[in-house]
Structure 1
Amino acid sequence: MDSYPPILRHQNNQPQNLTNPNNTTDPNPIQDSDPVPTIDLKYLNHKNLDEACKEWGLFRLVNHGIPLTLMEQLQDVTIQVFSLSFESKQEACNECPITYFWGTPALTPSGKALSNGTQNINWVEGFDVPLSKLEQFQHQVPSLESIRLLLLDYATHLSRIATTLFEAMAKSLDLNLKETKSYLAENTGIVRVYRYPRTDVGWGMEVHTDSSVLSILNQDDHVSGLQVLKDDQWLTVKPISNTLIINLGDMMQAISSDTYKSVSHRVKVEKDIERISICYFVFPGDGVMIESSKYKPFTYNDFREQVQQDIKALGHKVGLGRFHLNQDS
């Protein structure tokens, strides 16, 4: 328990008012099967990719080209990092570009009170790692230095995968590739590593959409938790070794003028076992204007600021609705 942030230790010993992930009153039933579409990156079928983006906003990627040994090493070192004491993790991130967060999604300051006086507590802790700054520092904590070096290698694969997929999507959408290059800016890439503690109450992460163009998830091989909303049913995305889960974010939905969807998803926690996941997010470049037939022109910075304002004032993200042409913000 010493490795958990105090607020999660405290919450674990208190009566909970949060929704139980297994609550049978959930208005959207959970379906155990996993019909998530599979896309083969080595033999990329543009028609299948286009259908997955339109119908799901999410797919499983195989033949992605990342060495299995690298993915396994990342998982192992991530477990080592999270096993450090809470105080050690806090101190280790004081003088480096990595941000340590807990109890909330990364966009919300950890444990910050909302305007209604409550706290938005999720069962999660994590590290936010801006990939463009990884080469600028070395770390004295061995496990953090190990994960830094592994992520330098991992980042080259993530950039390759994201670029390949985005260019295929842009072609299917008849977008001008020269003009869309800055929609996927490599220097915006970040990795977030998450640990979801053992508990039988609450959520690891509540229902949300990602704000990114693309998100690339390397989830735990043995512990499920990711659920996606499809046709008013929650589907559990089963963990399968040596595969990645790709989901589209709000920026991709806007770029595609709602042809592609930003998928709603959540993370369920388990009573008896922790879950580790590693996710890559990539965004449009600074100042890049997203112009769409469905939305008012906006930059990702405009979007991010609005999300932060809404979380602080309302306790949740409103997202693309704020920028829709038919919406009075």
Structure 2
Amino acid sequence: MKNMSLQYTSDSYPPIFRQPNIPLCCNENQDLCNHEVVVGRNTLPVVDFQCVNEEKLHEACSDWGVFRLVNHGIPTTLINQLVETSKQVFNYSFESKQRLFSCSPVTYFWGTPALNSKGLALQQPQNINWMEGFNVPLSQLSSHTRAHKHGKDDDPLSTSLRYLIQEYGNHQSRIAETIYKAITDRLLLDQRRLDDSRNCSSYLSLSTGFLRVYRYPALVQPNETSWGMDVHTDSSIISILNQDLVGGLQFMRHGHWHHVHPVANTLIVNLGDMMQAISDDKYKSVKHRVKLNKYKERLSMGYFVFPDDDILIQSPSYKPFTYSDFRAQVQQDLKAVGYKVGLQRFK
């Protein structure tokens, strides 16, 4: 494929998302509903990666299920390069992205990732997530990069994107492993107090980690059914989000939706379903969603890591199950009832 076929175009979004040009100005809080609470810079629990306080981390996980991570050690230059390259690749035409990322290891998706493209085609606009993205299983990306190290790629920008994602993913794995160890050290201490023989420190598998880069369009006429990403919990053990300064991330706490104020050079870490099961419900998989901005598109990068498929998860509150069992049940529920039921199926 020659580069001339990948010229930037105003038709970069999936056809269903395309809208008239809109002014690039905004009041970041004007879209918040009365029942939404802004979580400011000093409200969300903060964990310093360079000197993790296990007690503060435990409080954040048990009381919030989400926290802000500072001093994470990812070079700012790397983040900026990845963001800028992602924007350039997102600006390729919709058709070019479909062709260029049609197979592993980097795949292009839009709407609802849990459904296949055929299913998406049948969805009405109000029933889909208003976002597009690249899905990257990091272990497959490493193999692909080694295999093509001395070859020529079709498109320089997509090649650059893969290398940047691989480097960024290495940092995400480092952070996830450290945070998970700090969390499970506290859980292991509690288990010893209870004479519990389970070993919760052995579930995390870095080989399962994958990265998603998301782009959300500005939406001129949003309504109550138009969301960048609808309410959900992650199936992961740990999820790590790097969001730009546009904002839109919200999470549920004590029955209210909280808007997370974006802060430069910080990460948002939230717990997923597997961590809730591993901790025997001491920690909660936090519900969250993404609200669209009327005036600006939004870019974010999410890292997700899981147990190996065949590792048995044992907890007094749940029937023994593997992540493979859980994933299959989620897919079954999506087809049968239209949404993810999650851990309740294994109680």
Do structure 1's residue 131 and structure 2's residue 138 form an aligned pair? yes
What's the Cα RMSD here? 2.5
Counterparts in 2 of 1:162 and 1:268: CA distance versus 1, 3 Å: same
Please give the secondary structure, in 2, of the residue aligned with 1:39.
strand
2: CA distance, partners of 1:256 / 1:181? 10
Tell me the percent identity. 53
2: CA distance, partners of 1:123 / 1:144? 23
2: CA distance, partners of 1:58 / 1:142? 37
Do structure 1's residue 151 and structure 2's residue 151 form an aligned pair? no
Alignment counterpart, residue 37 of structure 2, candidates 31, 35, 38: 31
The answer to whether the Cα contact below 8 Å between 1:182 and 1:285 also exists between their aligned partners in 2 is no
TM-score, normalising length: structure 1: 0.88
Please state how far the C-alpha of 1:183 moved relative to its aligned partner. Answer: 1.2
2: CA distance, partners of 1:248 / 1:102? 24
Counterparts in 2 of 1:286 and 1:247: CA distance versus 1, 3 Å: same
2: CA distance, partners of 1:77 / 1:182? 36
Do structure 1's residue 56 and structure 2's residue 64 form an aligned pair? yes
Task: Report the equivalent of 2:238.
Answer: 214
What per-residue deviation string (whole Å, max 9, x for no partner) do you get for residues 124-143 of structure 1?
11111000011333542222
Please give the secondary structure, in 2, of the residue aligned with 1:297.
strand
- Write the letter of the residue equivalent to 2:216: Y
1: CA distance, partners of 2:53 / 2:156? 42
Counterparts in 2 of 1:227 and 1:126: CA distance versus 1, 3 Å: same
Counterparts in 2 of 1:87 and 1:54: CA distance versus 1, 3 Å: same
The answer to whether the Cα contact below 8 Å between 1:214 and 1:252 also exists between their aligned partners in 2 is yes
Please give the secondary structure, in 2, of the residue aligned with 1:135.
helix
Task: Report the equivalent of 2:11.
Answer: 2
Q: Which range moved further: 257-266 or 148-157?
A: 148-157
Where in structure 2 are the equivalents of 1:149-228 lying within 5 Å?
Answer: 149-174=163-188, 179-180=199-200, 182-199=202-219, 200-201=221-222, 202-220=226-244, 222-228=245-251
The answer to whether the Cα contact below 8 Å between 1:114 and 1:314 also exists between their aligned partners in 2 is no
2: CA distance, partners of 1:318 / 1:116? 20
Q: Which range moved further: 80-89 or 176-185?
A: 176-185
Q: Which runs of 5+ in 1 are unaligned?
A: 13-20, 325-329
The answer to whether the Cα contact below 8 Å between 2:78 and 2:164 also exists between their aligned partners in 1 is yes
1: CA distance, partners of 2:308 / 2:202? 6
Please give the secondary structure, in 1, of the residue aligned with 2:318.
coil
Larger radius of gyration: 2
Q: Which runs of 5+ in 2 are unaligned?
A: 1-9, 22-29
Task: Report the equivalent of 2:329.
Answer: 306
Please state how far the C-alpha of 1:256 moved relative to its aligned partner. Answer: 0.2
Where in structure 2 are the equivalents of 1:310-329 lying within 5 Å?
Answer: 310-324=333-347
Please state how far the C-alpha of 1:94 moved relative to its aligned partner. Answer: 2.2
Task: Report the equivalent of 2:24.
Answer: none
- Write the letter of the residue equivalent to 1:140: D
The answer to whether the Cα contact below 8 Å between 2:249 and 2:289 also exists between their aligned partners in 1 is yes
- Write the letter of the residue equivalent to 1:30: E
- Write the letter of the residue equivalent to 1:242: N
2: CA distance, partners of 1:190 / 1:292? 26
2: CA distance, partners of 1:111 / 1:122? 15
TM-score, normalising length: structure 2: 0.84
Number of residue-to-residue matches in the alignment? 311
Where in structure 2 are the equivalents of 1:6-85 lying within 5 Å?
Answer: 6-9=15-18, 22=31, 24=33, 29-34=35-40, 35-85=43-93
